[in-house]
Amino acid sequence: MTGMSKTIQLNNGNEIPIIGLGTWQSSKEELKTALRAAIDVGYRHIDTAYNYMNEDTIGEVLQEYINSGKVKREELFIVTKLPMIHMDPNLVKRSIEISLKKLQLSYVDLYLIHGPIPLEYDGNDNNIFPLTEDGGWKIAEKSDLLGTWKAMEKLVDFGLTKSVGVSNFSISQIERICKMAEHKPVTNQVECHIYFSQKELFNACKKLGVTLTAYSPIGSPGRPKNLKEADEPVALEDPIIQRIATKYGKTHAQILLRNLIQRGIIVIPKSVTPERIRSNFQVFDFSLSEEEMGDIDHITIQKRYFDMSTKFKDHPERPW
């Protein structure tokens, strides 16, 4: 198992590196340092989104590396996402073109719908989370998930992306899309870690030939304080993870990542610290035993670190 592949084949035949670099919540200079450290150590999968407002910074570093000959464009796997303000089918192509211009690329390798619920578009492309008077997110009056998907499929035909997928989608939403899709979603990117294992969703996606990509695979320790609770369980401090890490002489993060990739789940750990970025990539020289995988599987703590259910209340497309 230590010799496991560093890529996973998607349902359209394309290969995705099983470990990518997450880039949410990074300052410009931090992100440049992180990207250089990641590419230098061997990362080829970079995950971003329109909403992260950092595609231009990523584009700068990618061009720096491509133009210097340190990496070829075709060796990279670049992921970005359709913002929820651009889910009207008529806005989808324009939205990816904005992202591609910032990334300084002619195509991305994977384009995801960032979430299943459209937000009101007021004509301002920078107002990514429009608010109501009471401080909630302003949800668009019309929701046309299948129409949005058809517009996403055209992006493949136009050559603007190699693959399309979704993020934060429920089982029923993915099933509905797969029934009508010409280009099936290749992945569903969701929160997934030892305290939120997503077994049911993983199994349902697997039956449909759709992979799972885990964001927050080590429990998102660096997320903003306003998203944390005082006494919440911390995945990196779990005693089972600590015990296994001691046995292998590995970091707690490496055990958390190894567990997910042994389950066949793609991971996109986020870090801006070069040492941690390098460490997170060093998970191919050991493997967890069946017993250790079972011990982790039987962890009873349940904790979702990103609960957006209150943002959407009773919306029919709410997946949470």
- pLDDT tens-digit series, residues 164-188: 999 999 999 999 999 999 999 999 9
Q: Is residue 181 part of a domain?
A: yes
- Pairing outcome for strands 266-267 and 211-215: parallel
Our CA angle for 234, 239, 245, nearest 5°, is: 100
Report the alpha-carbon distance of residue 56 to residue 217 in Å, rounded: 25
Report the alpha-carbon distance of residue 209 to residue 228 in Å, rounded: 34
Cα 127 to chain centroid distance, Å, stands at: 22
52 is catalytic: yes
pLDDT digits 0-9 by tens, 188-199: 999 999 999 999
Report the alpha-carbon distance of residue 225 to residue 80 in Å, rounded: 25
Q: Biggest alpha carbon distance in the chain?
A: 55
DSSP string for 272-303: --HHHHHHHH--SS----HHHHHHHHT-----
Q: Is residue 23 within 8 Å of residue 270, measured between CB atoms?
A: yes
In the structure, what pLDDT confidence band is assigned to residue 310 with cuts at 50, 70 and 90?
Answer: low
Instruction: Tell me the residue range of the domain where 302 lies.
Output: 9-312
Q: Which two tokens stand for residue 116?
A: 């299943």
Q: Is residue 180 part of a domain?
A: yes
Q: What is the pLDDT, as a whole number, of residue 319?
A: 64
Q: Is residue 83 part of a domain?
A: yes
Cβ neighbors of 119 (< 8 A, separation 6 or more) are 83, 84, 85, 87, 128, 129, 130, 137, 138, 139, 140
Report the alpha-carbon distance of residue 267 to residue 255 in Å, rounded: 12
Q: What is the pLDDT, as a whole number, of residue 223?
A: 64
Q: What is the pLDDT, as a whole number, of residue 232?
A: 83
Residue in 43, 52, 121, 215 annotated catalytic: 52
Average pLDDT in the chain: 93
pLDDT digits 0-9 by tens, 271-290: 999 999 999 999 999 999 99
Q: Is residue 38 part of a domain?
A: yes
Q: Is residue 92 part of a domain?
A: yes
* pTM score, whole prediction: 0.94
Tokens 């049911």 belong to 200
What is the chain's length?
Answer: 320
Q: Is residue 109 part of a domain?
A: yes
Q: What is the pLDDT, as a whole number, of residue 37?
A: 97
Q: What is the pLDDT, as a whole number, of residue 318?
A: 64
Count H helices and E strands in the chain, helices first.
Answer: 11, 10
In the structure, what pLDDT confidence band is assigned to residue 1 with cuts at 50, 70 and 90?
Answer: very low
- Pairing outcome for strands 110-113 and 45-47: unpaired
In the structure, what pLDDT confidence band is assigned to residue 15 with cuts at 50, 70 and 90?
Answer: very high
Q: Which two tokens stand for residue 190?
A: 């969701």
Q: Is residue 105 part of a domain?
A: yes
Report the alpha-carbon distance of residue 51 to residue 72 in Å, rounded: 26
What's the number of CA atoms in the CB half-sphere (13 Å) around residue 140? 22
Report the domain count for the chain: 1
pLDDT digits 0-9 by tens, 39-98: 999 999 999 999 999 999 999 999 999 999 999 999 999 999 999 999 999 999 999 999
Q: Is residue 2 part of a domain?
A: no
pLDDT digits 0-9 by tens, 226-285: 666 767 888 999 999 999 999 999 999 999 999 999 999 999 999 999 999 999 999 999
For residue 36, give the nearest of 280, 281, 274 by alpha carbon: 274
Sheet containing strand 187-191, strands side by side? 20-22, 45-47, 77-82, 110-113, 164-167, 187-191, 211-215, 266-267
DSSP letter, residue 317: T
- Statement: residue 2 has pLDDT above 60: no
- Statement: residue 140 has pLDDT above 80: yes
Beta bridge partners of 45: 20, 77
- Average pLDDT estimate for 195-211: 97
* CATH code for position 33: 3.20.20.100
Report the alpha-carbon distance of residue 57 to residue 28 in Å, rounded: 6
What's the number of CA atoms in the CB half-sphere (13 Å) around residue 217? 31
Q: Which two tokens stand for residue 230?
A: 């005082």
Report the alpha-carbon distance of residue 184 to residue 153 in Å, rounded: 8
